[in-house]
Structure 1
Amino acid sequence: MNELTHFNRAGEAQMVDVGAKQETERVAQAEGCIRMQPETLRLIEQGGHAKGDVLGIARIAGIMGAKRTADLIPLCHPLALTKVDCSFEVQQATAKAAIVFCRVTVATRGRTGVEMEALCAVQIALLTIYDMCKAVDRGMVIDQVRLLEKQGGRSGHWVRSA
């Protein structure tokens, strides 16, 4: 197993020096979901929510979350992102539960990966859905946020196994 890179020899937190790394195309994809009451999903799908287009606003929030990751995660490098794609898929799981899945792909050309940006974007998008719907469903659960795939850099291509 590799060592943690965000600590120096004295055990103090440090920002990793990526200056000597080669610039490469880097892509990461992450996903997560939010579970809710079926009535909440119906409000979202029918556009009947008082706050407006829930998924449209959550999509913009996810994009903004990816762009602001370095402001939220202390040791992340600020990156010039070349792509952020945030999509949703709704699923009526049971008569008592519905799910909105969020998937985000982030890309850049740089010296460090975009895994944190993809994960942050998913979380911010799902939190936005929670925020917009909490007045009608406080029992929503954000779940299964995880990295699916990353490409580029020294460690190469990684895909989550099934």
Structure 2
Amino acid sequence: MRWSIERIAAALSRGAPLSADTHQFESLFNMEIPMSGPARTGVLIYAKNLSSVSAFYEQVLSAEVLHADDEHRVLQAPDVQLIIHAIPEQYSRSIVIEEPPVAREGQAIKPFFTVESLVAAERIAEQCGGRVWGPVWPGPGMQVRNVCDPEGNIVHLPEHVA
């Protein structure tokens, strides 16, 4: 059976165990993070290659690593907290990630992260193994571009303009 990140997320939402370690998520939610409380907004991203996906978001979003272990990276960007979670090997071994990454056009959700400079974010995204995807769209007081991370997850990058 071929596992996709979407199938793993669906299994998790049904409460399916991902490993023999039944406390794998407990450590994530009980870790000490230098904040006044839990993040009010966040995104959890499953990754086959934890270090490359984490490095992408650290650089593109100027995010600080709050916690890192073999299975997780908790990143704090100016507006959002991200948890990058390693896909357990029994599932990840059948996932194929292409280089350059193939954008997952069928994904059901596309998070957006406001950046200071769209041009800089595009350059950094490509330097970190991601890909600029699609045109720049103008909007009221902003312009927006899609990029995909090293595993093909599409994110929307708006930049405020005068």
Query: Which has the higher relative contact order, 1 or 2, with Cα contacts under 8 A spaced 6 or more apart?
Result: 1
The interval holding the TM-score normalised by the smaller chain is: under 0.3
Q: TM-score, normalised by structure 1?
A: 0.26
Larger radius of gyration: 1
